[in-house]
Amino acid sequence: MVFENLDEAREFFKGDKFALTNGMTIDEIGEDYAVCSMTIAENHLNANGTVMGGVYFTLADFAFAVSVNNVHKITVGMDSNITFLVPAKGDKLIAESRVLRTGKTTTFCEVKVRDSFDRLCAVFTGTAFKL
């Protein structure tokens, strides 16, 4: 692991202004995973009154970044995809990123985004390049 503890990871990612401005936090970090979460606010909703797709994507991308940079700092995203399954219920989103494969130059992850009721709302996959 690159980060020795949760505080070190939080210190590194304090520069991620977009995620932090939107209330996203790093809750857990391990050798091959990271968990990030956020409280859903009114400014995260779309015209239908449900969470905007970009919110799911940003939270998933943030969890992805935390997990891949814990494998190798500095790592940047090179490809990602998200599938939306159901609209979130409740007031919280939780994203758990799992490193599925890490190689010499790339790392591949899957991120599951769940709501307050532990319902699977979206699945994100991403490939990152190690700089």
Span 3-41, pLDDT tens digits: 999 999 999 999 999 999 999 999 999 999 999 999 999
Is residue 16, in this structure, part of any structural domain at all? yes
Span 72-82, pLDDT tens digits: 999 999 999 99
**Is the predicted pLDDT of residue 53 greater than 90, yes or no?**
yes
Is residue 14, in this structure, part of any structural domain at all? yes
Please provide the DSSP assignment of 51-91 as one string: B-HHHHHHHHHHHHHHHHHHHSSSEEEEEEEEEE-S---SS
- In the block, which residue shows the tokens 């990271």? 34
Is residue 1, in this structure, part of any structural domain at all? no
Task: Indicate the average pLDDT of the chain.
Answer: 97
Is residue 22, in this structure, part of any structural domain at all? yes
Count of the separate structural domains present in the chain: 1
Cis check for the bond before 74: say yes or no (omega within 30 of 0): yes
Mean pLDDT value of segment 99-111: 97
Supply the range of the domain harboring residue 94: 6-130
pTM of the model: 0.96
Query: Residue 115: which CATH number?
Result: 3.10.129.10
Is residue 24, in this structure, part of any structural domain at all? yes
pLDDT score for 45: 96
